[in-house]
Amino acid sequence: LRYRPALTKKPLLEGVTTASTFVVDQPRCVFTGYDNAVIWLVVALDKAASTFNNSARPGTDETAFQRFPNPVRAYMTLNTTLGSYPCPKPEGDITVLRVGSETSCAQDATRPTCNGPLPGPGPYRVKFLALEGSVPVAETNWSVPITLRKAKPPSSISTTGSRHSADMVVITTILSILFAILLAGLVATLFWGSDSCSGSSTFSKPESVTVRRYNTHHVYDQPAARL
Q: Summarize pLDDT for 7-63 with one digit per residue, the tens.
A: 999 876 788 999 999 999 999 999 999 999 999 999 999 999 999 999 899 999 999
pTM, 2 dp: 0.67
d(C-alpha 195, C-alpha 190), whole Å = 9
d(CA 80, CA 67): 22
Helices (H), the chain: 160-200
Predicted pLDDT at 207: 54
Asked if residue 212 has pLDDT above 80, the reply is no
Q: What's the pLDDT score for residue 193?
A: 61
Supply the pLDDT for residue 225. 45
Cβ pair 54, 107 in contact under 8 A: no
Greatest Cα pair distance in the chain: 171
Quick one: which of 40, 39, 52, 27 has its CA closest to 124? Answer: 52
The answer to whether residues 146 and 126 touch, using CB atoms and an 8 Å cutoff, is yes
Cβ atoms < 10 Å from Cβ of 209: 5
Q: Please give the pLDDT value at position 164.
A: 57
Comparing C-alpha atoms, which of 23, 15, 24, 75 is closest to residue 45? 75
Helix (H) or strand (E) holding 174: helix 160-200
Mean pLDDT of 82-95: 88
165: left (phi over 0), alpha (psi -120 to 50) or beta: alpha
Average pLDDT in the 152-169 region? 62
As a whole number, mean pLDDT of residues 118-135 equals: 96
Helix (H, G, I), strand (E, B) or coil at 156: helix
Q: Helix or strand or coil: residue 200?
A: helix
At 226, the pLDDT band (50, 70, 90 cuts) reads: very low
The pLDDT of residue 159 is: 55
C-alpha Rg value of the chain to the nearest Å: 46
Q: How far apart are the first and last CA of the chain?
A: 168
Q: Name the pLDDT band for 197 (thresholds 50, 70, 90).
A: low
Residue 213: which pLDDT band, with cuts at 50, 70 and 90?
low
Q: What is the mean pLDDT of the chain?
A: 84
Section 202-219 average pLDDT: 52
Residue type, 161: G
What's the residue count for the chain? 227
CA distances from 55 to 129, 131, 151, 169, 218 (A): 10, 9, 36, 63, 153
Q: How confident is the model at residue 160 (pLDDT cuts 50, 70, 90)?
A: low
> Picking from 4-18, 81-95, 148-162, 168-182, which range would have the lowest pLDDT averaged per residue?
148-162
Q: Measuring CA to CA, which residue among 97, 95, 92, 54 is closest to residue 76?
A: 54
For the cut 70, the answer to whether the pLDDT of residue 204 exceeds it is no
